[in-house]
Amino acid sequence: MNSRTGWTIALAGVVIVGVIWWVGHGSGHGKSDADQTVPVVTAVVRQGSFTVYQAQPGTVTPANSVVVRSRVDGELTKVAFSGGQMVKKGDLLAEVDPRAFQAQAELSSGDLARSQAQLANAQETLGHFHALAAQDSISRQRVADQESLVRQYTADVKSAQGRIDSTNLQLSGAKILSPISGMVSLRRVDPGNIVGPSDPRGIAVVTQSQPSKVVFSVPVNAVPGVLSRLQQGACIPVDAYGDSPDDVLGTGRLLAANNQVDPATGTVKFEAEFANANGTLLPNQFVTARLPVKMLPQATLVPAAAVQQGADGPFVYQVKADRTVAVVPVKVGGGDATSTVITSGIAPGASVVVQGADRLRAGVTVSATAAPAAAPSSPAPTDVAECHPDPTAKP
């Protein structure tokens, strides 16, 4: 046996001795995963009422929106509003040069005066003719002709009066008034331009945004329960959110539902009304509408943090009486940011892990600390008598 072979045998012996020492001594300094105690926070599975919500994107639409146009053709001489100004129905918005209509009104007044004078003269002559006819001193033909002349002048008077009324209507149209109360847009035309009823853009747009409506779509499978409550006259509250659930823009009530399903999306359009007393909802604004679609009176609830996702689906870690944890598959039936509805897999009263699950596996011993009591779940939608369209609205 040469020296190289000897060194190899010696080195192998050292390695074997080292492994035996590590197995007997080094590994004894720690415990297996099953023997370790992992600190966790637990909560008790509870039973209670839970409202299932549907959150969908929606668009704000004003209660009324009117494009203001001039009712007469003419030169715009005055604009009496500023963009974003609140106006009332009947407020002056703009004026068209009235001089042409005033001149026409004077001509029509002259025509009326002439026709009235002719009618009065013809009626007086007809009276004389009737007196002569009673004495048989005039032919019946002359009496008939005079009666026809009186009718002609009577028609002339009515025609002249009609022209005056028409001219006065045009003259009143020279003052462009707000047809509704609301907020006026930026002006779309400047003084000096020729305006008229055929202008496609108009002078401005007045929108009535108090109240406002939000139009949104709901999946068809959630529609029957909502429609049933709506048809029974129940008030179904709807919340409108901005960029986040904390950005609440207002609370209103469900107003109406469309009568058909959109075949492209499988949804039904709903319309909710908001008092919008503080003006936070603007026309054409994109919001998120949150609608309660179903009430679960006896739901099994766990904190949302207790539900884990595995290769076979959702599960929870249940803490058993011997302080070890078991992996329990569950079926989830919806939830919100704080609570999850469990339809099967675990019963009320069981203890589940809500913090520290990243270090767990089946059979691990835990040191459990109880989590603070869970906040009550969302209340059921109120009835008509208790429903208010907007908490900021005045009664």
- pTM score above 0.85: no
Please state, in angstroms and rounded to a whole number, the distance separating the CA atoms of residues 230 and 46: 31
- pLDDT over threshold 70, residue 375: no
Q: What CATH number has the domain spanning 54-63+214-292?
A: 2.40.30.170
Domain 70-96+175-202 has CATH 2.40.50.100: yes
For the chain, what is the mean pLDDT?
84
Beta pairing, strands 331-335 & 267-274: unpaired
- pLDDT of amino acid 368: 87
Please state, in angstroms and rounded to a whole number, the distance separating the CA atoms of residues 27 and 120: 131
Chosen CATH of 98-173 out of 3.30.565.10, 1.10.287.470, 2.30.30.90, 1.10.443.10: 1.10.287.470
> Domain-by-domain residue ranges, the chain?
37-52+297-370, 54-63+214-292, 70-96+175-202, 98-173
User: What value, to the nearest 5°, has the Cα angle with vertex 356 and ends 355 and 361?
Assistant: 125
- pLDDT over threshold 50, residue 321: yes
pLDDT tens digits, 172-225: 899 999 999 988 999 898 999 999 999 888 999 999 988 999 999 999 988 888
Q: Residue 192's Cα: distance from chain center in Å?
A: 40
pLDDT tens digits, 261-270: 999 999 999 9
pLDDT tens digits, 78-87: 999 998 899 9
Beta pairing, strands 365-370 & 37-44: parallel
Q: What CATH number has the domain spanning 37-52+297-370?
A: 2.40.420.20
- pLDDT over threshold 90, residue 377: no
The answer to whether the beta carbons of residues 58 and 240 sit under 8 Å apart is: yes
The answer to whether the beta carbons of residues 273 and 237 sit under 8 Å apart is: no
Phi/psi at 109 (nearest 5 deg)?
Answer: -65, -40
